[in-house]
Structure 1
Amino acid sequence: MNDHRTEALEVRRFAERLGLPGLIDVHTHFMPERVLRKVWDYFDTNGPLIGGLGWPITYRREEAERTALLREFGVRAFTAMLYPHKPGMAQWLNGWAADFAGRTPDCLHTATLFPEPDVETYVSAAVEAGARVFKAHVQVGGYDPADERLQRAWGVLAEAGIPVVMHCGSGPAPGKHTGPEPVARVLARHPRLRLVVAHMGMPEYEQFLGLAERYDEVRLDTTMAFTDFTERFMPFPGRALPRLTALGDRVLLGSDFPNIPYPYLHQLHALERLGLGEEWLRAVCHDNAADLFGL
């Protein structure tokens, strides 16, 4: 059993060593408890099928304990990444997330969307209610991000400058519409959309790096990338490290907490051992997100 108190001390020391006031994690999951339990059930059942590995949930705790633990880690700001898997669900999730943000001041007010007739209406309402980041999960939702029903919603978010963290790569499990091509179609129509590609776009790392090089508002989050777990079945190509260095102002710390099969600290050590330098680490673990969200 991981000693979370010892780990919290080590996480805070990591930030202090870099001269940071803490961490900003743009990819953490908080959602209604019954929805989260279903997510955990999915990993319990399908974990052994993903890369031939099990997927134990390291931080399987009650909501209050999970928020307290992130604070113990010195995480200054985090998100409530949540996502619908069917029509009629997103607006309900957005209501829950608004309430969660209201009682959790260090959580960036998160919202989500799904291709359905009223998507522009409820996305606009969430923006007006103060949403600061959106989550889109192409694999779970089973939809094409370039779906015509989403175009006006992407336009609303691009105009408002609100980041969208999108799980659009084909890892750790592919979906019908995952991969860089559908995302490229979205960006061709909405080049100013502040897209944050989750998981560094694994395993299509290099293609998503290419989109970030082409579009100034495209960013990538580090969620699960470079860790021992992921490197065993979807390794990041060493030849792409110089490109990662060059994009140092557009890479953001993400962890997937609490749904990770290893300690939180390991994601930080995985970034550190890339050897890209303390300036890069400071930007990724705090400064880039602080700039993006005006913290």
Structure 2
Amino acid sequence: MTPEADPEPHDAAPQPDPNEAVVPDTPDTVDSRFRGATDCHVHLMPARLMAAIRDSLHDVAGWEFPHPVDRESMEGFLRGHGVARYCALPYAHKPGIAADLNDWVLARAAESEMCVPFATVHGEDRVGEVVRDAFEAGARGLKFQCPVQECGPADPRLDPAFELAAEYDRPVLFHAGTAPMFEDSPHVGVDQFRTFCESYPTVRACSAHMGTFEHEQFFDVLRDHENAYLDTCFAMSTAAPESMGFDPATVPDDVFEEFAGRVMYGSDYPNIPHEYADERSHLLSRDLSEGAFEALFRGAADRFLALD
């Protein structure tokens, strides 16, 4: 969801004190339908890079961030909100940083019982080498912030990464949609995501943010490709109308029933300018079956990650 950021920010927007973060729920107040959830869209990156990302978002959108960025505080917060596991998603906004960034995420994951580490690579890197090293070291998937990295699902430079994803049975999570500010980017859009699904039919591929603003066309891709997924982050939050100009109520309940097992809960935490509960409150207000809720908050992520 993030625009390009300089990893060494100057005059960055003030960062929060973790001790002043939004107070987590207590176990008694977490909705039983959500408790034990997997958050498939969390950003865990070095503090300087996170500060740069937040500074950039503050400049572009005016957002302020009440959430901590260090692993221990993040995990304590997520656990307090009922999350049992999360996917840590890095991305490399320029060449030459992906390998070190992947190593950093993997090291943090080794200290954690909650973290499922993903890796990234830039199109100008030695793509195959970076990705193979990350997979061999334990990365469970790949993340691409396509408009920021300027390399999308149909970029031939990334073919070595996609071929390795197929070889290692690792999923790929793309920011492939145009929201919230990327409608003019040549690196996103439903056509590119569809091309990927056609070219790599065995690779589980997710488009973040429910595919907004082309969500209806992304639903068609899911109908045509059994390994295509969406995540809900930001777009299905109660904050979406104000923060990204999208009303989550325009997505009918039957979408979550039809694609149960292929729509995953995600939040974009900690880089969200609203309370964490806003990410799930609209979803929990929907009239869904027990099976659809189970799939949304747990089962779809299990399937995406190929976990028993």
When the two structures are superposed, what TM-score results if normalisation uses the length of structure 1?
0.89
- Cα distance in 2 for residues equivalent to 1:237 and 1:106: 31
Residue number among 25, 36, 41 corresponding to 2:55 in the alignment: 41
What stretches of structure 2 of length at least 5 have no aligned partner? 1-19
Normalized per residue, which structure has more helix?
1
* 1:56 and 2:64 matched: yes
For 2:115, the aligned partner's letter is C
Tell me, what secondary structure is at the counterpart of 1:264? Answer: coil
Correspondence 1:201-280 to 2 at 5 A: 201-232=211-242, 233-236=245-248, 238=250, 240-280=252-292
For 2:55, the aligned partner's letter is D
Tell me, what secondary structure is at the counterpart of 2:142? Answer: strand
- Cα distance in 2 for residues equivalent to 1:117 and 1:63: 27
Cα deviations across residues 51-71 of structure 1 (Å, max 9, x unaligned)? Answer: xxxx22131454421122112
Cα deviations across residues 4-44 of structure 1 (Å, max 9, x unaligned)? Answer: 14x3446x621xx22x6611111011101110010111121
Aligned to 2:158: 150
Q: Per chain length, whose mean CA-contact separation is higher, i.e. which structure has more relative contact order (CA < 8 Å, sep 6+)?
A: 1
For 2:294, the aligned partner's letter is R
When the two structures are superposed, what TM-score results if normalisation uses the length of structure 2?
0.85
Shift of residue 236, structure 1, vs aligned partner? 4.1
Q: Is the 8 A contact 1:2 1:263 kept in 2?
A: no
Shift of residue 129, structure 1, vs aligned partner? 1.4
Give the alignment's Cα RMSD to 1 decimal.
2.0
Distance 1:291 1:189, change over 3 A: closer
* 1:131 and 2:131 matched: no
Tell me, what secondary structure is at the counterpart of 1:255? Answer: coil
For 2:77, the aligned partner's letter is L
- Cα distance in 2 for residues equivalent to 1:37 and 1:13: 30
Shift of residue 118, structure 1, vs aligned partner? 1.1
Correspondence 1:166-177 to 2 at 5 A: 166-174=174-182, 175-177=185-187
Distance 1:236 1:203, change over 3 A: farther
- Cα distance in 2 for residues equivalent to 1:158 and 1:115: 18
Aligned pairs, how many? 284
Tell me, what secondary structure is at the counterpart of 1:79? Answer: strand
* 1:78 and 2:78 matched: no
Distance 1:214 1:240, change over 3 A: farther
Aligned to 2:17: none
Residue number among 284, 289, 292 corresponding to 2:296 in the alignment: 284
Shift of residue 240, structure 1, vs aligned partner? 4.8
What stretches of structure 1 of length at least 5 have no aligned partner? 49-54
The percent of aligned pairs where both chains have the same amino acid is: 29
- Cα distance in 2 for residues equivalent to 1:170 and 1:270: 22
Shift of residue 101, structure 1, vs aligned partner? 1.0
Tell me, what secondary structure is at the counterpart of 1:70? Answer: helix
